[in-house]
Amino acid sequence: MSSDKRIRVTLERSLSGRLKSHIACAHGLGLRKIRQTVEIDVNPSIMGMVNKINYLVKVEGV
């Protein structure tokens, strides 16, 4: 089951001046400040959000 897989996502770059949809994706993941890290369960919608802002974040498996 994919619900037991988790990833650690860290915001590495600023959200200032980004597209509104990219800022919304970061906020949807719970990322608001640079170097803030969240651990979230993996599912297709989360991975879509991470892929959309992949240039802003660092992703690690947990």
How many structural domains is the chain composed of?
1
Entry pTM: 0.88
Structural domain of 18: 2-61
- The three-state DSSP-derived secondary structure of the chain is CHHHCEEEEEECCCCCCCCHHHHHHHHHCCCCCCCCEEEEECCHHHHHHHHHCCCCEEEEEC
pLDDT at 54 over 80: yes
CATH number at residue 16: 3.30.1390.20
Kindly state the average pLDDT of the residues 16-23: 97
* Rounded average pLDDT over 37-62: 96
Average pLDDT of every residue of the chain: 94
The tens digit of pLDDT for each residue in 22-45 reads 999 999 999 999 999 999 999 999
Q: How many CA atoms lie within 13 A of 20 on its CB side?
A: 0
